[in-house]
Structure 1
Amino acid sequence: MSDILPAVGLIGWFDVHERELPWREPGVTAWQILMSEIMLQQTPVVRVRPIWEEWVRRWPVPSAMAAESTGEVLRAWGKLGYPRRAMRLHECSRVLAERFDDVVPSDVETLLTLPGIGEYTARAVACFAYGQRVPVVDINVRRVIARAVHGRAEAGSPGRSDLRDAEALLPTDPVRACRYSAALMELGALVCTARSPRCADCPVSGTCGWQRRGRPAHDGPARKVQKFAGTDRQVRGLLMDVLRGSDDPVDRSRLDQVWTTDTVQRDRALGSLLMDGLVEQTRDGRFCLAGEAG
């Protein structure tokens, strides 16, 4: 497969087109890269950058974050979405401070034992923070491989074959392998995009299986479009906005005001926040972020 996505051409393209992202700068620590990878899950770079930069200044090492309350970390997370990521990262900071002396482990197996760290994040940290030759597979990499290697418009459901395919493409030299992994991700993010791929600008268009087949349309199940307006996710976000904006617990009446369209949905959203541990209820019946009930 390496002749389909040749390292020389792809890395050469990356050398020219690599975005200047703060977590790629020299001197960035494994902890700071870990924070960026958690934030970037399902969230655009433009929204992540200012929050990440603030967190690096505020919590440069895990123990600094571990000393904060969960509620304060959730407050600092702002509107990045999926706030359970912030809660799990806070749990991870405590484990790193207590068990690893503020050092993020370098091997995938140990990283996978940390709270909130899955296959992708563990491999991304091992690769981008420690220079290890391990496959790093996100949705962009899966799409590039599906098109260039397998000639399909879309990647389909994730599976273990994704890691095997990605590993088979890696150069043997760890330094080049890490660079290659980053280039694959960048190609999917900037050129081989989901909706409007820029095949004329692609450095591997001449060997791309999808291009050679005439760019056939996806013949599998239609991709589900995740809507936001009117969903429980939106209601949860509105409720969290109220709690993040208050230093003190708030009355139920303030929460009721944020969503009057469907009171059953609002109650369900609040109940799910309580169940997830993102929100707590005080003894007098008010509501606050996790760890701030007193």
Structure 2
Amino acid sequence: MHAAVLRWYDGAARDLPWRRPDASPWGVLVSEVMLQQTPVARVEPAWRAWMERWPTPADLASAPAADVLRAWDRLGYPRRALRLQDCARTIVAEHDGAVPVTEDELLTLPGVGAYTAAAVAAFAHGARAVVLDTNVRRVVGRALEGRALPPPTLGRAEQERAAGYVPADAATSVRWNVGVMELGALVCTARSPRCADCPLRSRCAWLAAGRPADEHAARRRTQAWHGTDRQVRGRIMAHLRALPGTPWATGRDLLTVGAGGADPAALPDPAQPGRALASLVADGLVVAAASADADLYRLP
């Protein structure tokens, strides 16, 4: 099974800049943070621009937060940008500017969880690690365990089984991790798997069982977007990023921005823009500056 995936990956892998031999550990870490819940097509140009501007943790650590948020642009979940900057500052302060090597050390960095620590240890430092993103979990669950999709949450038993599937040799394990990840992204997709093109089709337990339905379907909830506070937060952040550095006097304009430029009367909840703005302030993504005649807001 390892050999089948590795042969397939050798011929099908996408040429992504953070996978190249000259990619720095910092570049790998940046890519992993950007790729969280964001498609590769949107990440690649942003990653290139980011690495040209801030090629080392020290460069990002000293950057104005407003510039960091503007550069993050529309990658989504902008708190990731500030966490990445906090991560850079910790690397500079506690690790002499070098990305830590071990998973335990990586886990001490702000915003770095179990997946990111394993991915950076493997792809930046060549260590044997159990890299479990959604794509890997889906391929392993289908091919080896006959499940349509993995459970909504990653449990200890699944982690332990996945660890047993990773090759013992470090170099081979790195290629296995990235190969299975790529297989899930390109072939063994969630909604329209291309089983005829899969290198594991002759040994896939899910295919052999007749592609049974998702046993966890009832537990999955699709996150809404349109009309939510998250959408309004995104509109406010886009508006602030576009300003030339001057504070924004919200006033009636807050409702228009919250409505996406449409008639504020179309807002299902007139209090939503104010609530969204307050949550951005609470998250440190926007700074409030009181004034005698207006409420002023700006990027931090």
For residue 162 of structure 1, what is the amino acid of its counterpart?
Answer: E
Which residue identity lines up with residue 297 of structure 2 in the other structure?
F
Alignment-derived partner of residue 191 in structure 1: 187
In structure 2, C-alpha distance between the alignment counterparts of 1:162 and 1:177, rounded to whole Å: 18
- CA distance in 1 between counterparts of 2:290 and 2:164 reads 57
Of residues 29, 53, 73 in structure 1, which corresponds to 2:68? 73
Q: Tell me the residue number matched to 1:241.
A: 238
User: Is residue 266 of structure 1 aligned with residue 266 of structure 2?
Assistant: no
Residue deviations 1:259-293, cap 9 Å, x none?
Answer: 22132111111111111111110132300112xxx
Is 1:41 aligned to 2:48, yes or no?
Answer: no
- 1:85–1:116 Cα contact (<8 Å) kept: yes
Specify the code of the residue in structure 1 equivalent to 2:168: T
> Using the alignment, how far apart are the partners of 2:72 and 2:167 within structure 1?
37
Corresponding residue to 1:250 among 248, 251, 276: 248
C-alpha distance in 1, partners of 2:57/2:187? 35
**What code does the residue aligned with 2:141 have?**
A
Alignment of 1:26-105 (within 5 A): 26-105=21-100
Counterpart of 2:160 (choices 161, 164, 183) is 164
TM-score (normalised: structure 1): 0.94
Select which of 278, 282, 290 maps to 1:283: 290
- Measured on the aligned residues, the alpha-carbon RMSD in Å equals 1.1
Specify the code of the residue in structure 2 equivalent to 1:198. R
Aligned-partner Cα distance in 1 for 2:82–2:105? 20
Q: TM-score, normalised by structure 2?
A: 0.92
| Amino acid across the alignment from 1:25 | R
SS in 2 for 1:257: helix
* Distance in 2 separating the partners of 1:214 and 1:151: 9
Matching residue's letter, 2:33? I
- Partner Cα separation in structure 1 for residue 216 and residue 178 of structure 2: 28
Aligned residue identity for 1:239: I
Q: Which 5+ residue runs of structure 2 have no aligned equivalent?
A: none
Contact map agreement 2:240 2:299 (CA 8 A) in 1: yes
Give me the identity figure in percent. Answer: 48
Residue 135 of structure 1: how far off its partner (Å): 0.6
Relative contact order, CA 8 A, sep 6+: which one is greater? Answer: 1
Contact 2:254–2:274 (8 Å) recurs in 1? no
Residue 213 of structure 1: how far off its partner (Å) = 0.7
1:250 corresponds to which letter in structure 2? Answer: W
Stretches of 4+ aligned residues off by more than 4 angstroms: none
Question: Any conservation in 2 of the 1:137–1:162 contact (CA below 8 Å)?
Answer: no
> What is the distance in 2 between the residues matched to 1:220 and 1:130?
35
- In 1, Cα distance between equivalents of 2:227 and 2:35: 24
| Whole-angstrom CA distance in 1 between matches of 2:158 and 2:73 | 33
Tell whether the 8 Å contact from 1:62 to 1:94 is kept in structure 2 after alignment: yes
Aligned length: 285
Pairwise CA distance, 1:160? 2.1
SS in 1 for 2:271: helix
C-alpha distance in 2 between matches for 1:42 and 1:161: 24
SS of 1:263's equivalent in the other structure is coil
